[in-house]
């Protein structure tokens, strides 16, 4: 059964036990998935590769039922036609209290998995195409209006044009702007360009990347060559937080699949080719638990920077040098 992306409120997991969400618009897919999972307690996530390599274990987990368990919600990420045989088997078993959400990238018309869902009268198939700039502009306008942030339509267009039709990218940019706006009455074009990296601040970007990769000498060189000011310290902290959250996600994926190339190639949004090598270094240097502690510490540093803005350069420098020397992956 085909449902349009703007009709997803019609999906009822109690009736539509199998749901296929596919397409390039990862932000929209995440939004719909989160809405479907509201008030759901028992949620298990799998990679297709993980299931294909351990099919019997996966099926045993599906068929087993805890005495205290009402229902199971299964999310399978990055699915392809290879998963179809297992889905067909589960359909034949007609298992009660198991709902499965499949998340795929682009599926062509000839896809057997897509065809299976489209022809079904009980299972749901939703395509998520890139958002138009008009849709993204409306989302951005509503966001700024709700947050009471003053920004011109021209600057909203500037943000939207950078997002390539993906609302996940848009919301990441809006998050940065909201943080920055707390110390500003109005957001200017210059602020937007700096915040969204339309003109990339290589010093901050390189500093954060090399700190997460533990390249201490490179960090020292950047600190010596750059002329950071107090305002930059807030940007550094924010950039550090955003990148650390991305690395946490990648470290978790790597812990699951044990394949660094698969982790890098399947990252969403895609990792730019020139960043792949240093991202690998970062994944090797951290564990999920350690990066979670780093994120907690970064939130503390952020508060300290705000309270001691005149001493923020020293706070950030000490923190960065301390992180570059610490042993993380142990």
Query: Do 264 and 154 have their domain in common?
Result: no
Q: Is residue 148 in some structural domain?
A: yes
What does the angle CA 318 – CA 321 – CA 326 come to, to the nearest 5 degrees? 120
Q: Is residue 297 in some structural domain?
A: yes
Q: Is residue 274 in some structural domain?
A: yes
Q: Is the pLDDT of residue 190 over 90?
A: no
Q: What is the average pLDDT across 251-278?
A: 87
Q: What is the average pLDDT across 292-314?
A: 87
Query: Do 185 and 206 have their domain in common?
Result: no
pLDDT of residue 77: 86
The CATH number of residue 214's host domain is: 1.20.272.10
Q: Which are the contacts of 128, defined by CB distance < 8 A and separation ≥ 6? A: 5, 21, 22, 23, 24, 25, 26, 28, 29, 32
Q: Sorting pLDDT into bands at 50, 70 and 90, what band is 198?
A: very low
Query: Do 276 and 320 have their domain in common?
Result: yes
Query: Do 148 and 59 have their domain in common?
Result: no
* Both tokens assigned to 246: 């991305």
Torsion sign over Cα 134, 137, 142, 143: positive
Structural domain ending residue among the three candidates 83, 112, 127? 127
Query: Do 167 and 267 have their domain in common?
Result: no
Q: Which residue has the higher pLDDT, 39 or 2?
A: 2
Q: Sorting pLDDT into bands at 50, 70 and 90, what band is 61?
A: confident
* Number of domains the chain is built from: 3
Query: Do 215 and 281 have their domain in common?
Result: yes
Q: Is residue 112 in some structural domain?
A: yes
Query: Do 176 and 260 have their domain in common?
Result: no
By residue count, the chain amounts to: 330
Query: Do 11 and 62 have their domain in common?
Result: yes
Q: Is the pLDDT of residue 282 over 90?
A: yes
Q: Is the pLDDT of residue 68 over 50?
A: no
The CATH number of residue 90's host domain is: 3.40.50.300
Q: For the chain, what is the mean pLDDT? A: 83
Task: Output the DSSP codes for 104-167.
Answer: ES---TT-HHHHHHHH-SSSEEEE-PPPPHHHHHHHHHHHHHHHT-B--HHHHHHHHTTSTT-H
Query: Do 151 and 217 have their domain in common?
Result: no
User: What pTM does this model have?
Assistant: 0.55
User: What is the residue range of 237's domain?
Assistant: 202-325
Query: Do 144 and 218 have their domain in common?
Result: no
Q: Is residue 266 in some structural domain?
A: yes
Q: Sorting pLDDT into bands at 50, 70 and 90, what band is 184?
A: low
How far apart are alpha carbons 57 and 82 in whole angstroms?
17
If we measure between CA atoms, which residue out of 274, 296, 206, 282 comes closest to residue 249? 282
pLDDT of residue 289: 93
pLDDT digits (tens, 9 = 90+) for 129-179: 888 889 899 999 999 888 888 888 888 888 887 777 778 778 878 877 787
Q: Sorting pLDDT into bands at 50, 70 and 90, what band is 185?
A: low
Q: Is the pLDDT of residue 199 over 50?
A: no
Cβ proximity of 58 and 46 under 8 Å: yes
Q: Is residue 227 in some structural domain?
A: yes
Query: Do 296 and 223 have their domain in common?
Result: yes
pLDDT of residue 183: 63
Q: Is residue 207 in some structural domain?
A: yes
Query: Do 227 and 289 have their domain in common?
Result: yes
When mean pLDDT is compared across 173-187, 227-241, 254-268, the lowest value belongs to 173-187
pLDDT of residue 194: 66
* Both tokens assigned to 159: 């943000």
When mean pLDDT is compared across 105-109, 222-226, 239-243, 276-280, the lowest value belongs to 222-226
Cα distance between the two ends of the chain: 49
When mean pLDDT is compared across 33-37, 68-72, 144-148, 171-175, the lowest value belongs to 68-72
Q: Is residue 330 in some structural domain?
A: no
Structural domain ending residue among the three candidates 195, 227, 249? 195
The CATH number of residue 176's host domain is: 1.10.8
Q: Which residue has the higher pLDDT, 184 or 92?
A: 92
């Amino acid at each position: 059964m085909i449902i349009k992306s703007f009709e997803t409120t019609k999906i009822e997991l109690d009736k539509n036990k199998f749901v296929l969400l596919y397409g390039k618009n990862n932000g929209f897919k995440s939004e719909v998935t989160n809405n479907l999972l509201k008030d759901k307690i028992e949620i298990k996530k799998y990679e297709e590769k993980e299931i294909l390599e351990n099919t019997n274990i996966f099926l045993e987990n599906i068929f087993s039922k805890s005495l205290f368990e009402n229902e199971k919600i299964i999310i399978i990420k990055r699915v392809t036609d290879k998963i179809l045989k297992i889905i067909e088997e589960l359909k034949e078993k007609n298992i009660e209290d198991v709902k499965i959400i499949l998340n795929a990238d682009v599926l062509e018309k000839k896809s057997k998995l897509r065809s299976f869902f489209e022809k079904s009268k009980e299972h749901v198939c939703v395509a998520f195409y890139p958002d138009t700039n008009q849709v993204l502009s409306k989302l951005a306008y509503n966001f700024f209006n709700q947050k009471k942030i003053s920004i011109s339509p021209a600057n909203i267009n500037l943000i939207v044009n950078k997002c390539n039709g993906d609302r996940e990218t848009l919301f990441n940019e809006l998050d940065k702007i909201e943080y920055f706006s707390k110390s500003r009455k109005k957001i200017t074009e210059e602020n937007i360009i700096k915040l969204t990296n339309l003109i990339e601040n290589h010093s901050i970007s390189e500093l954060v990347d090399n700190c997460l990769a533990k390249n201490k000498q490179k960090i020292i060189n950047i600190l010596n060559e750059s002329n950071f000011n107090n305002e930059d310290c807030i940007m550094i902290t924010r950039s550090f937080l955003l990148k650390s959250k991305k690395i946490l996600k990648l470290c978790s994926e790597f812990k699951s699949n044990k394949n660094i190339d698969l982790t890098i190639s399947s990252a969403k949004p895609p990792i730019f080719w020139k960043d792949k090598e240093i991202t690998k270094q970062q994944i090797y240097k951290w564990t999920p638990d350690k990066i979670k502690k780093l994120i907690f510490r970064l939130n503390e540093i952020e508060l300290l920077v705000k309270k001691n803005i005149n001493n923020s350069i020293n706070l950030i420098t000490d923190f960065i040098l301390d992180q570059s020397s610490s042993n993380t992956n142990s």
